[in-house]
Amino acid sequence: MCDPSRLKIGVHVSISGAIDLSVDRAVDAGCNTFQIFTRNPRGWKFSEISEEVRRSFLRKVKSSQICPVVDHMPYLPNLASPSEEIFKKSLFTLKAELYRCDQLEIPYLVTHLGSHMSSGEDNGRRRVVQALNSALEQGNRCMILLENTAGQKNSLGTRFEDICDLIDRTDYPDRVGVCLDTCHAFAAGYDVRSEIGAVLDELDSSIGIARLMVIHMNDSVGDLGSHLDRHEHIGLGKIGEDGFRHMLSDRRVTERPLIMETPVDERRDDKGNIKKLRELAGVA
């Protein structure tokens, strides 16, 4: 288990070349927690993890004292899809990803809840519950974390009570947690900028704060309630430095792994965002 008293800050890291190289990149950027895709996120195909890479990854994670590593589902799967074919492929991907997490001793797999593609929320929800039950039936150690969304058309998981309802309907509620994305929450209308306490109280009274395992710390290009899913560098978006300082004053935030999915451009890189978040947390 990860030391809960230690502030855990990291970014999404590339696995380019080989999965174990992500650990070197994370260390180099100054992470003590990080997120990866275990494979190309833009396709359906993937290859198995070799024993050599698996061992190297585990060795590096151990010696770096990074904790936890988090996996994110690829982009194409849609667990709420009304298409039988897409649903099947999505479920296959989810199962494979859980297996890969166990191989790499990754405790959390973050997934979006998908889009019902105008088939209706009830149909979408039914699909998601079916997918979660079928995947969790495998008995993997890795926990699935449902990520809140910005509220784009037809997407599921925008409101905390919707996420709560899905977890309640699964057969394995203990194997399902939540990943809170600050950009998505803000875009969905949750004012994490000036009301983080109230937002987390609301999360607690529906989902339960104990289910919150990871926070994606992203600033937002869009304003409160804009439903725009566009991430910005920490402090340079509509949440702003004061908003992040405010969030980082709540222990329910600082006790959790804080992972950024921020851009890399001429304004700032990953190291820069890590430095900024540490500075705003008062531990620079």
Q: Which residues are catalytic?
A: 42, 72, 75, 112, 147, 181, 184, 216, 229, 231, 261
Three-state DSSP at 36 gives: strand
Pull the structure tokens for residue 206: 């529906």
Stretch that binds Mn ion, among 122-130, 193-201, 215-223, 248-256 (CB under 5 A): 215-223
Q: Which of 175, 216, 238, 276 binds Mn ion (CB under 5 A)?
A: 216
| H or E element, residue 181 | strand 176-181
Stretch that binds Zn ion, among 73-81, 137-145, 187-195, 225-233 (CB under 5 A): 225-233
Q: What is the DSSP letter of 148?
A: P
- Assess contact for 230 and 194: CB atoms under 8 A: no
CA dihedral 264, 18, 76, 232 (to 10 degrees): -10
**CB nearer Mn ion, residue 60 or residue 116:** 116
**CB nearer Mn ion, residue 20 or residue 181:** 181
Minimum separation from the CB atom of position 112 to Zn ion (A): 9
Stretch that binds Zn ion, among 16-24, 61-69, 172-180, 226-234 (CB under 5 A): 226-234
Beta bridge mates, 57: none
- Assess contact for 87 and 81: CB atoms under 8 A: yes
**By CB under 5 A, how many residues form the interface with Mn ion?**
3
**CB nearer Mn ion, residue 181 or residue 270:** 181
Q: Could you say which of Zn ion, Mn ion, none residue 216 binds, taking C-beta under 5 to 8 angstroms by partner kind?
A: Mn ion
Residue environment code for 12-40, b if the CB has 16+ CB neighbours within 10 A, otherwise e: bbebeeebbbbbebbbebebbbbbbbbbe
Please, how many CA atoms are within 13 Å of residue 233, restricted to the half-sphere of its CB? 14
Distance CA 250, CA 109 (A): 25
Minimum separation from the CB atom of position 147 to Mn ion (A): 5
**CB nearer Mn ion, residue 162 or residue 181:** 181
Q: Could you say which of Zn ion, Mn ion, none residue 229 binds, taking C-beta under 5 to 8 angstroms by partner kind?
A: Zn ion
Stretch that binds Mn ion, among 1-9, 141-149, 152-160, 267-275 (CB under 5 A): 141-149
**CB nearer Mn ion, residue 97 or residue 147:** 147
Q: Which of 20, 162, 181, 232 binds Mn ion (CB under 5 A)?
A: 181
Q: What share of the chain is helix, strand, coil (3-state, %, to 5)?
A: 40, 15, 45
Pull the structure tokens for residue 95: 């199962």
Q: Is 12 in the site for Mn ion (CB under 5 A)?
A: no
Closest CA to 145 of 195, 88, 97, 193: 97
Q: Which of 219, 229, 232, 270 binds Zn ion (CB under 5 A)?
A: 229
Please, how many CA atoms are within 13 Å of residue 36, restricted to the half-sphere of its CB? 27
Closest residue to bound Zn ion by CB: 229
**CB nearer Zn ion, residue 13 or residue 27:** 13
- Assess contact for 214 and 110: CB atoms under 8 A: yes
**Which residues make up the interface to Zn ion (CB under 5 A)?**
229
